Structure 1
Amino acid sequence: MKRSHRAALLASALAAATLVTGPPAALAEADTVDVEVNTRAGLEHVSDLALGVNHAIWDAELGTPAVADLMRDAGVQAMRYPGGSYSDIYHWYDHTAPGGYVAPNTDFAHFMAGVRRAGARPIVTANYGTATPQEAADWVRHANIDNDYDVEYWEIGNELYGNGHYGSEWEADDHPDKSPNQYATLVRDYARAMKAVDPTIKIGAVLTTPGEWPDGITAEGDAGPWNEVVLSVAGPEIDFGIVHWYPTGDSGAEVLPKTDRLAPALRMVREQARQYAGKDIGIAMTELNTTYGRNTQPGALFAADAYATLMAGGVFTTDWWNVHNGLGQVRTIAGQTDYDDFGLLSSGNCTADGTTCQPALNTPFAPYHALAMLSRFAGPGDQLVGASASDPLVKAHASRRTDGGLSVLLVNEDPDSAKDVTLDYAGYTPAAGATVLTYGNGDDAITTTTGTAGQVTLAPYSLTTLVLRPRSSTTPPAAPARPSAGTITDDAVTLSWPAGPAGVKYEIHRQFGTTSEQWGETTATSFTVTNLDPATSYTVNILARDGAGRVSWASPPLSFRTTTPATSSCAVRFAETTNWGNGYVADVTVTNTGTAPIDTWALSFTWPTSWQRVDSGWNGTWTQQGTTVQVASVEGNHVLAPGASTTAGFVGAYQGPNVPPAAFTLNGTLCS
């Protein structure tokens, strides 16, 4: 949901803040943690726009050399303009935003000057709310034909689901029809008009983030929820989907673990695109920030973990909100003064009573240093690979680098305890030494020291990156391309991939996080796997091995799910009937497809995540233990004759992506 800070002016009067102080917690002895890195478990490659930020036209520092140089020094690769909800009131041709404040020297030319000085690339949001497709097309002409700015990525509007259609209204939208169908229909018009000027550009449409309001809600008169309608109507014309994320919480312990929502959210967006648009699309996270410790260490830890997770999931850009934003509630977090500022850099302003002021203008806050750490951890073309830690308070990410090196990013989310980490590597043999980059709580810069590849101590609330070199330098064969899956059944799949260099063998690896299981090898470019489990998700990579035994990088991953049995003595249909954003009503219909009556039954399924639950139910006795749900028959529906069906319903709740269950068993039998 769009928040009021994004419409506020930096020059506005600020409410008086309350300063909360307290002593830092005492340090505990270091805990022992094992970290596993598996380079055979290939994830996605890093885009050349992966590290992005937002600029806003109400920020007088937009495009200045000082800010551009700071962005360059942090490794920022993408800059979004003209700024959140202002996008839907901004007119580029006369640099106005009726109803909002526009700072001097923030026009498109100034923005592009800053982008070029920083060595970054632009992402532009065209005005949907108060403009027209022609105005957007004229902007494309001005940018790419008249001025050779090479703006490739264009969003159509910002958070248009916040136009009042679902009740909450923060986004300007002058169209009488504010439905997702109207938005999608006009997105088609925008895309066609803009691509008629420059066919090389890419167009993005606003989507809801799975698990975040108003995802899943179907408003009156709509054919389905926002994403279903937008992708069904506009899908053929767009190239990427736009999502935003601001996880909530009042402490680091509440906010930092929520990055586990990102992977299932990305999977759901991709599945929605395939189902409703009939194709794969790119995903851009064009706004990201947190609600706790925004400019102190929790914000840095969150940024590092979230960006790395999104890179591993193939998001081509993640853009921090914002470069400058302004002071909010002041308090002490982990011993440091936090200004509740969404900006990467200080705005240099004070509370209304003048009692508390931020550091000097453009002083970097902690998340800025997290972006700088990320740019040292992974660059364009690098491939994220599997990494995990035995301690849930330590997040581990690893990147195989195009120069032959390997880097490991470790995030210690424990505010009190250091962590003694032992690292183990599969598929990669590092040299003994390592370059160690650290950013600790309260630091004003990243520190570089030397260490070893196998061990490192993480300070409390810290970021650490190990940069490694291989023990021996060889030239492996080229990595195979991402495999594809042919017909998938309940127990088999045929994988195929493009041919690589002559004389190589291909290894097929199934991944369990950071553990690999080799399914087989072949000199062909296809491989059939049998004896799989029904209704089960699998992730595989292909590696190439030449005659000298040299092994390539892993291909990008392929994930697929086997089907439920084609024939069974039972069938189940699971269907939502209504949804209100964090809860819903669903019906589960059970059919006896066998030849004998069923007398007394119990249906079981498992939630795919830990944040889903059944709150109440009817037409059965509902229970949940952990993530396992069971509904047992009651008087009146306990007998199912052959061909007969019965329906039980429940009220469900969720606090993240609401991933539907994949498999149902009736009295222990897996149903179709």
Structure 2
Amino acid sequence: MRWSCHPTPSRTVALAATLTLAFAGVTAATAPPAAATTAVSVSVDAAQQLAVIPNTGVGTNLAVFDSTMNASDTSGLLGNAGIGAVRYPGGSEADVYHWQSGTSSGGAYVAPNTGFDAFMGTARAAGAQPIITVNYGSGTPQEAAAWVQYANQTKGYGIKYWEVGNEVYGNGEYSNGSGWEYDTHSSHSATTYADNLVQYISAMKAVDPTIKIGAVLTTPGGWPDGVVGPGDTMDWNHTVLSIAGSKIDFAIVHTYPSSTSEADLLGKPQSLIPGIAATVRSLINQYAGSNAANVGIAVTEANSTSYRDTAPNGLFAPDELLTWMENGAFNVDWWALRNGSDCSGTTWVDGATDYNDYGMVASSPCEGSLDHPFPAYYGTQLITKLGAAGDTLVKAASSTSLLSAHAVRRADGDVDVMLINKDPNNSATVNLSYAGFTPSSDTPTVYSYLENGTSINSATIGSATTQTVPAYGITVVQLHPTSAPCRVVYNKNEWAGGMVGSITITNNGLGQLNGWDLGFNFAGDDKVTTTWGATINQSGPSVNALNLSSNGSVPQGGNVQFAFQSTWSSSDADPATFWLNGTACATG
């Protein structure tokens, strides 16, 4: 498998571009003619929760080499695409950037008007949470701590997520001194990074103990994963986590799959991401001790290495972002909003020009109008039609690898389905089936992005059980339930830091239940400690309460009760919505 580190534009650290790493308004657009139509089956299980969409789930990078980072249209571009997180100061720039002076070490370019406060103005205008990468390569723990103090105490920005360094393993340790990541430490070993990481964490959390700090890992399966460097006894990941694993709040990986063809690229989300995520989670469980369940996974750079500004990447972007979230990532940041291109390596791909630009929007005059979106922007934007932060990603399965399916159960009980047709020649007639959800007979609203389109379509078309997706097209089908044939009454007795909740479920119209599963999401930070009358499984805010053998039978018109005790710190606000065997219930 081949992967590369993030691409570096012409005005930043040049080494990254020379080293390839081993690792596997809505208007109508015109669809290209399809040679044939292929039948596909997609099943959606609205009761099988995969993950709650985090408010930082869909992100992008803003880099200090981008002279238009804080242009008047940037916040609108971010907001319209549903970008909930923005990473700064951008990739390898982070390890040369000194935030107080707005200057860099090593001769890297820093554009005017890209300082921290200007960036924060753009992030706030877009409603996006910042993810700050502090300078490990040429900085100090004290410089990083001063940044935390300025951001969260002096300015009151309340920045939660901080990384220590960018791709630090690219500092030459594994390539005979040649690397792309600037690092002035006398030793470039994994042990040195881990020891310094502990110092950074100590200094930064002494200023603000509420912040979350991440450690740089190599991406499992990719270079230099598995390589033991001079002076270390284990590879990078095992060394870093064996020293700092109990002190970090999240682990960081970057994903840039290379590919031998368009079809190869479009298969990568399903073939690679589940394995990468599982390996990172296993490492966290091995080294983070009792805190392992609270340690997250952030993918702070993601993109492909080919077809960057053309149709294949438009399909790949939402597939990669959603698959990562389904596999437990709380943050996935596309590289980047703007990246830049000299247009010297343009190619023609599927009827469009690939400018070799890793940005979501154009940033060079040779690419046509500045800031016009590339397909990856529109593909990402379609996620806003699928779901929002707090909604639940649920299981969706396709009968063919040529069509990816993702589904979301909305907080109001609606279910939306995204269908990504990876066949460049044939449209797909998709037959949809549902478990845990009964769609209404109304004709659904369908949003779509078609090959080489310049906007997202909207139409009322097809049915809940049959949709046609054009070749190289993406559609999002928005569905309403038939009714709310169940009711949930939620009561609680609370005190500072704890509460007992009791739930009564009434089966108004689901027929005889021989087993039940009540799903809901805590609106606060409750953690269930004890249960009565149900078995409760909790993952973050997401909860599933399952019947016991003694109370699984509930006739239509009957009810059942259970209770639980939980602890909380900031809030024990009531859940907004409940689902009984996947069906949305009325409340109160």
TM range (shorter): 0.7 to 0.9
Paired position in structure 1 for 2:389: 380
Partner Cα distance (1:207, 1:234) in 2:
12
**Structure 1 counterpart of 2:169, one-letter code:** Y
Give yes or no for the alignment of 1:246 onto 2:246: no
Shift of the alpha carbon at 1:475?
5.8
Q: Is the 8 A contact 1:7 1:100 kept in 2?
A: no
State which drifts further: 152-161 or 162-171.
162-171
Give yes or no for the alignment of 1:207 onto 2:207: no
Question: Which blocks of at least 5 consecutive residues in structure 1 are unaligned?
Answer: 16-23, 350-356, 480-497, 510-521, 529-539, 556-672
Partner Cα distance (2:46, 2:489) in 1:
15
Partner-residue secondary structure (3-state), 1:316: strand
Aligned pairs for 1:402-421 within 5 A: 402-421=411-430
Q: Is the 8 A contact 1:476 1:551 kept in 2?
A: no
Q: Is the 8 A contact 1:49 1:317 kept in 2?
A: yes
Give yes or no for the alignment of 1:390 onto 2:411: no
Aligned pair partner of 2:431 in 415, 422, 429: 422
Question: Which blocks of at least 5 consecutive residues in structure 2 are unaligned?
Answer: 18-30, 491-499, 507-513, 519-530, 538-542, 561-577, 584-588
Paired position in structure 1 for 2:47: 40
Partner Cα distance (1:526, 1:473) in 2:
24
**Structure 1 counterpart of 2:121, one-letter code:** A
Partner-residue secondary structure (3-state), 2:304: coil
Paired position in structure 1 for 2:351: 335
**Structure 1 counterpart of 2:301, one-letter code:** E
Paired position in structure 2 for 1:30: 37
Give yes or no for the alignment of 1:262 onto 2:273: yes
Q: Is the 8 A contact 2:517 2:581 kept in 1?
A: no
Partner Cα distance (2:488, 2:437) in 1:
15
Shift of the alpha carbon at 1:32?
0.6
> Which structure's CA Rg is the greater one?
1
Partner Cα distance (1:94, 1:144) in 2:
18
Q: Is the 8 A contact 2:173 2:229 kept in 1?
A: yes
Alpha-carbon displacement from aligned partner over 1:431-470 (angstroms, at most 9, x marks no partner): 1221100000011111010122111100000111001111
Partner-residue secondary structure (3-state), 2:388: coil
CA distance change for structure 1 residues 218 and 3 in 2, over 3 Å: closer, same or farther?
closer
Paired position in structure 1 for 2:81: 74
Q: Is the 8 A contact 1:59 1:103 kept in 2?
A: yes
Partner Cα distance (2:487, 2:325) in 1:
24
Alpha-carbon displacement from aligned partner over 1:473-504 (angstroms, at most 9, x marks no partner): 3565499xxxxxxxxxxxxxxxxxx9862569
Paired position in structure 2 for 1:231: 241
**Structure 1 counterpart of 2:285, one-letter code:** R
Paired position in structure 1 for 2:285: 274
Aligned pair partner of 2:580 in 529, 552, 570: 552
Paired position in structure 1 for 2:26: none
Q: Is the 8 A contact 2:189 2:230 kept in 1?
A: no
Q: Is the 8 A contact 1:7 1:85 kept in 2?
A: no
CA distance change for structure 1 residues 109 and 75 in 2, over 3 Å: closer, same or farther?
same
Shift of the alpha carbon at 1:293?
1.4
**Structure 2 counterpart of 1:445, one-letter code:** S
Partner Cα distance (1:403, 1:378) in 2:
11
Partner Cα distance (2:406, 2:92) in 1:
33
CA distance change for structure 1 residues 551 and 82 in 2, over 3 Å: closer, same or farther?
closer
Shift of the alpha carbon at 1:27?
3.0
Q: Is the 8 A contact 2:489 2:503 kept in 1?
A: yes
Paired position in structure 2 for 1:561: none
Partner Cα distance (1:36, 1:476) in 2:
26
Highest RCO, 1 vs 2 (Cα 8 Å, sep ≥ 6): 2
CA distance change for structure 1 residues 478 and 366 in 2, over 3 Å: closer, same or farther?
farther
Aligned pair partner of 1:63 in 65, 70, 91: 70
Partner Cα distance (2:352, 2:486) in 1:
47
**Structure 2 counterpart of 1:255, one-letter code:** L
CA distance change for structure 1 residues 399 and 543 in 2, over 3 Å: closer, same or farther?
farther
**Structure 2 counterpart of 1:342, one-letter code:** Y
Q: Is the 8 A contact 1:125 1:158 kept in 2?
A: yes
CA distance change for structure 1 residues 7 and 447 in 2, over 3 Å: closer, same or farther?
closer
Partner Cα distance (2:325, 2:391) in 1:
10
Q: Is the 8 A contact 1:250 1:291 kept in 2?
A: no
Shift of the alpha carbon at 1:44?
0.8
Partner-residue secondary structure (3-state), 2:406: strand
Paired position in structure 2 for 1:146: 154
Partner Cα distance (2:309, 2:546) in 1:
42
State the Cα RMSD in Å. Answer: 2.8
Aligned pairs for 1:164-203 within 5 A: 164-167=172-175, 168-203=178-213
Partner Cα distance (1:346, 1:10) in 2:
17
Aligned pair partner of 1:292 in 306, 318, 321: 306
Structure 1-normalised TM-score? Answer: 0.70
Give yes or no for the alignment of 1:323 onto 2:337: yes
Partner-residue secondary structure (3-state), 2:298: strand
**Structure 1 counterpart of 2:282, one-letter code:** E
Q: Is the 8 A contact 1:373 1:465 kept in 2?
A: yes
Partner Cα distance (1:206, 1:333) in 2:
34
**Structure 2 counterpart of 1:457, one-letter code:** T
CA distance change for structure 1 residues 500 and 266 in 2, over 3 Å: closer, same or farther?
farther
Paired position in structure 2 for 1:345: 361
**Structure 2 counterpart of 1:401, one-letter code:** R
Paired position in structure 1 for 2:10: 8
Paired position in structure 2 for 1:575: none
Partner-residue secondary structure (3-state), 2:322: helix
Partner Cα distance (1:413, 1:221) in 2:
46
CA distance change for structure 1 residues 91 and 453 in 2, over 3 Å: closer, same or farther?
same
Partner Cα distance (1:506, 1:150) in 2:
44
State which drifts further: 272-281 or 411-420.
272-281
State how many pairs are aligned: 497
Shift of the alpha carbon at 1:172?
0.7
Paired position in structure 1 for 2:99: 92
CA distance change for structure 1 residues 307 and 324 in 2, over 3 Å: closer, same or farther?
same
Shift of the alpha carbon at 1:373?
0.3
Q: Is the 8 A contact 1:382 1:402 kept in 2?
A: yes
Partner Cα distance (1:408, 1:474) in 2:
22
Partner-residue secondary structure (3-state), 2:383: helix
CA distance change for structure 1 residues 156 and 111 in 2, over 3 Å: closer, same or farther?
same
CA distance change for structure 1 residues 447 and 10 in 2, over 3 Å: closer, same or farther?
farther
Give yes or no for the alignment of 1:449 onto 2:459: yes
Partner Cα distance (2:352, 2:332) in 1:
26
Q: Is the 8 A contact 1:478 1:553 kept in 2?
A: no
Partner Cα distance (2:187, 2:277) in 1:
29
Structure 2-normalised TM-score? Answer: 0.80
CA distance change for structure 1 residues 128 and 7 in 2, over 3 Å: closer, same or farther?
farther
Paired position in structure 2 for 1:604: none
Q: Is the 8 A contact 1:42 1:554 kept in 2?
A: no
Q: Is the 8 A contact 2:302 2:334 kept in 1?
A: yes
Partner Cα distance (2:156, 2:129) in 1:
13
Shift of the alpha carbon at 1:251?
2.1
Partner Cα distance (2:296, 2:6) in 1:
29
CA distance change for structure 1 residues 173 and 474 in 2, over 3 Å: closer, same or farther?
farther
Partner-residue secondary structure (3-state), 1:501: strand
Aligned pair partner of 2:230 in 220, 242, 253: 220
Paired position in structure 2 for 1:574: none
Shift of the alpha carbon at 1:223?
2.3
Paired position in structure 1 for 2:523: none
Partner Cα distance (1:10, 1:201) in 2:
29
Shift of the alpha carbon at 1:348?
2.8
Partner Cα distance (2:502, 2:410) in 1:
21
Paired position in structure 2 for 1:459: 470
Shift of the alpha carbon at 1:88?
0.2
Shift of the alpha carbon at 1:8?
2.3
Shift of the alpha carbon at 1:72?
0.8
**Structure 2 counterpart of 1:96, one-letter code:** T
% identical aligned pairs: 41
